[in-house]
Structure 1
Amino acid sequence: MCSNHTVVRCNEKDRETLLTFRQGIHDSLGRISTWSTEKDCCVWEGVRCDNITGRVTELDLKPRFEDESIRFLKGEMNLCILELEFLSYLDLSLNVFDVIIIPSIPHNITHSSKLVYLDLSLLNKFVDLEKKKTLHMDSLHWLSSLSSLKYLNLSNIDLPKETNLFQIVNSLPSLLELQLSDCKLNNFPFDEYLNLSSIVTLDLSRNNFTSHLLDGFFNLSKDLKYLDLSWNNIYGEIPSSLLNLQNLRHLDLSYNQLQGSVPEEIGQLSHIQQLDLSENQLQGSIPSTLGNLSSLNYLFIGSNNFSGEISKLTFSKLYTLGLLDMSYSNIVFQFDLDWIPPFQLFHLSLGNTNQGPNFPSWIYTQKSLQVLELSNSGISLVDRHKFSNLIERVANSLILSNNSIAEDISNLTLNCLFLWLDNNNFARGLPNLSPMAWVVDLSYNSFSGSIPHSWKNLKELSLLNLWSNRLSGEVQEHLSDWKQLRVINLGENEFSGSIPTGMSQNLQLIILRANQFEGTIPQQLFNLSYLIYLDLAHNKLSGSIPDCVYNLTEMVTFSEGVLPADITIELFTKGQDYIYQIRGDTRTIDLSANHLTGEVPLELFRLVQVQTLNLSHNSFIGTIQKTIGGMINMESLDLSNNKFYGEIPRSMSVLTFLGYLNLSYNSFEGKIPTGTQLQSFNASSYIGNPKLCGAPLNNCTMKEENPKTAMPSTDNEDDDSLRESLYLGMRVGFAAGFWGICGSLFLIRKWRHAYFRFVYRVGDKIYVTLIVKLNMFKRN
């Protein structure tokens, strides 16, 4: 802010320009409420003026973090702001603007040559999920007048496909940093000469380039320190001209289609600190010259086709290495049992590599690990004492899924936030957990006993998966305390007692299947508006289904749910055994194999987004409501082994996605409605209903009613039924919700390591950006 604004007020022309910019902004949280005509613009939020002249020199409107929320600006990004004659710093980044306005007479921007820093990068594609709107900038002519520009960031803005962007960039002689990530550039002139001799930082990631990396490209600038070409379709070999970039600190070529071997000469890039070659098709052995990169902090080389052996020689001089990712590799690791690395890692990912059967002894020496990922690595034997000390030290993420570790960890306290120990042979009691634990997956083990009393303190717990263990006892007090819980899976255990009534209002997925729960279904379960998956099957529940079913909002109107992690379970559904992965777009209700009675509430057949409904093996009575035809997304329907009666509604014939149907062993009667859908199932879907007839069963032999008297009422009823069903189907709406960027964890287990890599990259980038901006403010 201007420290002397009581003496020198801001320039009137500048104030009018700022007010013009302000007119198009939607600021529901009042971030720029100080921008009013009654006050000096030098004291407006985000505005900085010169102490002497009162002219606006800086405008910083990036989001603020307040009260655990982020205050974004929306509306119009009006580039009239560039008309501020003495503006040297403009940061509108990380907002979610709806449209970009370029002044109709661009030549009015005649005083922008003083602009040094320009950041217009957006977060629309990551935050504005409801619209998922992509912003276009159709004209870039205004850039050519910014001759003093040193920093330019237009990331996440779609730039014109046919553009003179790079000719304009060539005309900016002072440009040091250029960031054009996720701009849909498609075709980058890798094969053309670009006069970017001043460039120090170049980020062209996520642009879907399809091209070779030709030798000439790495002649861009010998001063280049940061180069990011990740998440494109770049193919071919890594050119030897890469060695021209002797000042390179950061090189990211990940998520491309690069082939061939890694040049041995890569060891000559003596200043490099972060190297990412992961997720390509690189072959051959990993060059031992990597061991010469003594400044290396981050090394990602996993998910390639490397072969051969790797030994301690490769790491002999990597004194500063902090992050190592070699996951999804066929490399043979040849380390001596007594090898002590020269580094201390904070992140190690060796998932899907052949490490076992013994736990790698050198990992025990790592005292600062925050992330340890060793899933699917063939490990079965550990040094009990060293292993216990190690996993208790891991502070962020511990991922040991899909091994064969058989240890008793009941006396340990695991302090990580994300814990995946699923698909092992851990036995006896559950471990104690950090009060900050967020995601806990201990499924497919042999844990026994009850949930520890200390787990009541898990106030941040978002996902708990204990599927398929030998756990027992009641869970009433625990579930009532976990107010942030979104996913609870206690299936395939021996839990008992009643289902808790005070569960988290944030729950999206509840699986209590195959336990010993008894009593009635709490009405509170059907007041959970975010619930998309409810499985209470194979318990001892009794009573009827509560009438308030329609409060399951997410089963009426669809939004793409974001689960905090993936859930994979074994189910018997659609008449078959399935390895079933639950996604955010799944909508399921399974109450089968209980002792439930009474009529099914009408509201249940109005949940038009449900895809799987299983009420089988209970004692339900009554008829199928004709409104079932509105459940147009239904894929699997099982009402078998109940006491339903009456006719099958004709409206069911419009359920075109129905792939599995079982109405057997009830008391249905009359003729199965004709239509391609219901006749596509075989007789086993209808057997056990003695008074039911019609294809695919035997033809009806009962006397037909007089068509002159019976038909009109039947047609009217069927028409009403179909009409109501169609109306119900048309009620589908779309809604969306944002659940914390860090909460959007990946849904496919194979890519989990990529998530952590993304988090670290983004964190580093934001940190560096903030530090740079802070230093600029201090200098000014």
Structure 2
Amino acid sequence: MKTLLHFKTGVIDPSGLLSSWFPKLDCCQWKGVRCDNVTGRVTHLNLPCHTNQPKFLDLGDKDDKSHCLTGEFNLTLLDLEFLSYLNLSNNDFKSMQYNSIGSHKCDDLSRGNPPRLCANSTNLHYLDLSYNYDLFVDNLHWISCLSSLQYLNLGGVYLHKEIDWLQTVTMLPSLLGLHLESCQLKNMYPLLGYANFTSLQVLNLADNQLLSELPRWLFNLSCPISHIDLSRNHIHGQLPETLPNLTNVKSLVLSDNSLKGPIPCWLGQLEQLQELDLSHNFFSGSIPTNLGNLSSLIKLILESNELNGNLPENLGQLFNLEALQVSKNFFTGIVSERNLLSLTNLKHFSISSPDLIFDFDPKWVPPFQLLNVELGHLRYKLPAWLFTQSTLKYLTITDSTASFEPLDKFWDFATQLEFIKVANNTINGDISNVLLSSKFVWLESNNLTGGMPRLTPEVRVLRLYNNSLSGSISPLLCHHMRNKSKLVYLDMSYNNLSGELTDCWKNWKSLVFINLRFNNITGKIPHSMGSLTNLRFLYLKSNKLFGEVPFSLKNCKNLRILDLCRNNLSGVIPSWLGQSIEGLELRSNQFSGNIPTRLCQLHSLMMIVFASNRLSGPIPNCLHNITAMLSVYSSTHKASFTFNFPGLSVNIACSIPMLIKGNELLYYTVMNVIDLSSNNLSGSVPLEMYVLTGLQSLNLSNNQLMGTIPQEIGNLLQLESFDLSRNHFSGEIPESMSALHYLGVLNLSFNNFVGKIPSSGTQLQSFTSLSYMGNSDLCGTPLPKICPQDEKSIDIVGNDDDDQFEVDSWFYMGLGIGFAVGFWVIFGTILFNRRCRHAYFIFWYRMRDVLIQKKI
């Protein structure tokens, strides 16, 4: 009881889960506590937190854990000698305390030293601390005390600082299941030859940061092993040629890594293998033919690799196979019914390769009924056997030139589907009279024509992006439905839609995402859009909208991204937006007036894009109150949806187009951006602007701003793009700008900057002279203008050279004079002395006679 009460003192319990934990009551009657019926000692402590169950639509929000246990997790619980089961999963613990109150302690663990005395919990068999996402654990040395541990799950716990995790867990001889997924582990120990996992059956290292080659110790796992899961990592290297001691393996999952090389042939020797998942890697070469010998195989998943060659025909002999997924590879040859002959249990089938030829007998009736099929790169017609699949629920056809004729037959077949994705094909059909009833409808880049299709209330996702649709959207949104619509995602961007935005939005209150970008829609934004209280993303960019932004959008309190760029909207900047707003894109409109100071109260705001409008007045000096721009981690938040079907989860990442670094790029995370360029703003840039340490792009060009760049610019260490061009800035460029190592775009041109461009480091010299042109009093590299202080240095160096030149000149002049004097002394003696002159000529005559005789 004392140990449990000590644990409780460090725990914050918002929901009163531990309210029954008080000394006057027998601890065996406390909530979550179970004792042995004979000894009365505590054996089980089961206090997981239950949050929202998975729904059809996941908007990427964190689970609400306001009712969960939080505070510190104290290892005093390990002093419970007879404790065999401990489950605190999915809570919100923030830290781990290593101190113990018992007579047996794990000493010095907080300092990372190996334990000398272990805790009493030698009977602990099950430990689950998973999904405590904010729990930081410095080391795992305390685990080595738990010699009887069979199941360990720390999934989602932050273990970034733990560098010896493998050595620690190998000290657990009884371990059967090890789950360390999403722990930010980085070390894979490639040089370790052997790991003592004598009993391990389950290994899950998914979603970490493992970057080494696949190590040898992984294949020393002793039998009987039933599951290995290394999915969603970044492990480099290739599988070894042998896999000892894995003859009883039943599930081998190595998906979502960076594994390369051929698929090892020894996999065909794993006679009990039921699941083989090597998807989303870089495996190359052909599929080993002996995989067709794995009669127990139920799942074979090899999609998204670089495999080539023919698809082995003997895979069609795997009569237990339920999933054959080999799409997105580079297979060649022909695939026909011979590859699928005996697959009577097949439920999931995917295949696509650019050079693969489909040659199925039109009269062939498969021995299976599929639930899910994915086909790609079809050339002529859809396989006739596809229409025999009456149980089919999920259909994907991509990158094909095959004819979908007759279209009526295809659309009628589609009514049985829950999920249909037909993308990058050449359907070329009018869908004005098509009734779409699938929950998930993805008809992207197919050259579909005509007006709007009709929907049933069951449609949740409708994506008609990049087709040739025309006419008004009213027929889609204003038709009467008997039942309430469930549509949450609507994307009809990049079409030829015209007319006004309908005023029928009140019938579509379930909408979360609307994208109508790049059409010809005109008129005003209707007030009825304010009834979309679930709306989070609204994209109306590049249309012909005019008028003011309706005040009714204030009711859209969940709105995260508002993109109204490239229209003719006017009035003042909307300042009444909710606290959820993260991106405000108003570029290239007719907005006027001042920038409202109320924007400073929108603490989640990360994108302020007001460029190319008619704004005037000063920049507010309260921007430092936008806390999202103070953090360097705030821009890692992704905008995405996840749709959960039975057996299928679909994630949609929402792209965010932003003009950064001179180009419009698509981002899938919200960045910290301020773009106020091409307005009529005046005054100086407030010093508070340089407190926004998370800022990644700042563009104030083409305004009437003045003042200097302060030394505080060096605080913006995350800055990637900085543009102050075409203003009235003056003064010197501060030395602190040299510390902006991420800076990829710099434009200070056409201002009044003076002095020398700072030369400390090479950061500012790495840009061309175009970044500094138009500043007449600016000098230094990379400009051709030499600074006065540099000219003096050149003069000093030049004077030294002149002095050296004079010395050298006198030296060579002396040599010349000496040679001339010596020449005339000798020649004068010969010329004026008779005896010497005769001797000289006699000598040359004799030499002539000698040379003539030798020649003869």
Does the 8 A contact of 2:638 with 2:669 survive in 1? yes
Matches of 2:560 and 2:205, distance apart in 1: 34
Deviation at 1:654, TM superposition (A): 3.0
- How far is the alpha carbon of 1:491 from its aligned partner? 1.1
> Equivalences for 1:205-216 in 2 at 5 Å?
205=231, 206=233, 208=235, 210=237, 212-216=239-243
Is 1:536–1:591's contact at 8 Å kept on the other side of the alignment?
A: no
Shift of 1:52: 6.3
* 1:490-509 correspondence runs (5 A): 490-501=540-551, 502-503=553-554, 504-509=556-561
How far is the alpha carbon of 1:306 from its aligned partner? 2.9
Matches within 5 A, 1:271-290: 271-290=296-315
Check 1:303–1:459 CA distance in 2 against 1; reply closer, same or farther (3 A cut). same
C-alpha offsets along residues 523-553 of structure 1, whole Å, 9 cap, x if unaligned?
Answer: 225x75652x433222222333223343342
Which residue matches 1:540?
A: 590
SS of residue paired to 2:576: helix
The answer for unaligned runs of 5 or more in structure 1 is: 1-14, 701-780
Tell me, yes or no, if structure 1 residue 519 matches structure 2 residue 571. Answer: yes
1:83-94 counterparts in 2 under 5 A?
Answer: 84=80, 87-94=83-90
Tell me the distance in 2 between the aligned counterparts of 1:529 and 1:243: 53
Structure 1 residues 291, 416: closer, same or farther in 2, change over 3 A? farther
Alpha-carbon spacing, 1:258–1:26, altered in 2? closer, same or farther (3 Å): farther
**Deviation larger for 332-341 or 535-544:** 332-341
Equivalence map 1:284-363=2 (5 Å): 284-326=309-351, 330-335=355-360, 343=368, 345-350=370-375, 353-355=376-378
1:723 is aligned to none
Which residue identity is paired with 1:273? Answer: I
What is the Cα deviation at residue 438 of structure 1? 4.3
Question: Retained in 2: the 8 A contact 1:153–1:178?
Answer: no
For the 8 Å contact 2:13–2:69, the answer to whether it is kept is yes
Give the one of 618, 629, 646 matched to 1:555.
629
Q: In structure 2, what is the Cα distance between the partners aligned to 1:60 and 1:473? A: 60
Q: Please report how far the alpha carbon of residue 369 of structure 1 lies from its aligned counterpart in structure 2 after TM superposition.
A: 6.1
Secondary structure class of the residue paired with 2:339: helix
Q: Which residue of 1 aligns with 2:673?
A: 588
Cα deviation, residue 510, structure 1: 2.9
**In structure 2, which of residues 467, 476, 486 is the aligned counterpart of residue 424 of structure 1?**
467
Distance 1:277 1:550, change over 3 A: same
Contact 2:246-2:270 at 8 Å conserved across structures: no
2-structure distance, mates of 1:383, 1:230: 39
- The structural deviation recorded for 1:354 is 1.5
Task: Tell me if structure 2 keeps the 8 A contact 1:375–1:399.
Answer: no
Among residues 434, 437, 443, which one is paired with 2:493 in the alignment? 443
Which string of whole-angstrom CA distances, capped at 9 and with x for unpartnered residues, describes residues 714-773 of structure 1? xxxxxxxxxxxxxxxxxxxxxxxxxxxxxxxxxxxxxxxxxxxxxxxxxxxxxxxxxxxx
Pair 1:178 & 2:202 matched: yes
| Corresponding letter in the other structure for 2:408 | H
Q: How many residues align?
A: 657
Using the alignment, how far apart are the partners of 1:361 and 1:455 within structure 2? 41
Q: Is the 8 A contact 2:697 2:721 kept in 1?
A: yes
Checking the alignment, whether the CA contact within 8 Å between 2:199 and 2:222 is kept in structure 1 is no
Task: Pick which of 430-439 and 539-548 moved more.
Answer: 430-439
SS at 1:307 equivalent: strand
Check the 8 A contact 2:457/2:486 in 1, yes or no. Answer: no
Write out per-residue CA displacement over residues 315-358 of structure 1, whole angstroms, 9 at most, x where no aligned residue.
444444444444676533334567665555554444xx423576
Q: Provide the rounded CA distance (Å) in 2 between the counterparts of 1:496 and 1:179.
A: 59
Structure 2 residue 64 is matched with structure 1 residue 69 = yes
Q: In angstroms, what is the RMSD of aligned CA positions?
A: 4.7
Distance 1:118 1:293 in 2: 37
- After TM superposition, the structure 1 = structure 2 runs for residues 754-769 of structure 1, keeping only pairs within 5 Å, are none
Who wins on radius of gyration, i.e. which is larger? 2
Q: Deviations over 1:111-134 (max 9, x none)?
A: 745x6x52435235xx43xx8x46
Query: What secondary structure, in the 3-state scheme, does the structure 1 residue paired with 2:527 have?
Result: helix
Question: What displacement does 1:457 show?
Answer: 4.9
Structure 2: which amino acid aligns with 1:181?
L
Q: Which residue matches 2:737?
A: 654
Structure 2 CA distance for aligned equivalents of residues 207 and 539 of structure 1: 44
**Contact 1:605-1:625 at 8 Å conserved across structures:** no
SS of the counterpart of 2:465? Answer: coil
Deviation at 1:493, TM superposition (A): 1.6
CA distance in 2, matches of 1:673, 1:600: 22
Change (3 A) 1:335 1:323: same
Tell me, in whole angstroms, the C-alpha distance in 2 between the residues paired with 1:370 and 1:585.
34
- The 1-side partners of 2:407 and 2:163 are apart by 57
Normalised to the residue count of structure 1, the TM-score between the two structures is 0.69
Q: Within the alignment, does 1:468 sit opposite 2:518 as a pair?
A: yes
Q: Is 1:123–2:131 an aligned residue pair?
A: yes
Q: How many percent identity over aligned positions? A: 31
Alpha carbons of structure 1 residues 374 and 694: separation in structure 2 relative to 1, 3 Å: same
Matched letter for residue 584 of structure 1: T
One-letter amino acid matched to 1:306:
F
Distance in 2 between the 1:593 and 1:414 partners? 45
Query: Quick check: 1:40 aligned with 2:26?
Result: yes
Q: Mean alpha-carbon deviation: is it higher for 673-682 or for 466-475?
A: 673-682
Structure 2 CA distance for partners of 1:160 and 1:697, relative to 1, 3 Å? closer
| 2: CA distance, partners of 1:488 / 1:513 | 11
1:200 alignment partner, one of 226, 230, 250: 226
Q: Select between 514-523 and 340-349 the one with higher mean Cα deviation.
A: 340-349
User: How far apart, CA to CA, are the structure 2 residues paired with 1:357 and 1:450?
Assistant: 40
* 1:64 to partner: Cα distance: 0.9
Q: Is the Cα contact below 8 Å between 1:372 and 1:398 reproduced in 2?
A: no
Q: Secondary structure at the match of 1:468?
A: coil
Asked if the contact 2:501–2:525 (Cα under 8 Å) also holds between the matched residues in 1, the reply is yes
Q: Is the 8 A contact 1:549 1:601 kept in 2?
A: no
Q: Which has the higher contact order (CA 8 A, sep 6+)?
A: 1
The answer to whether the 8 A contact 1:100-1:137 is kept is no
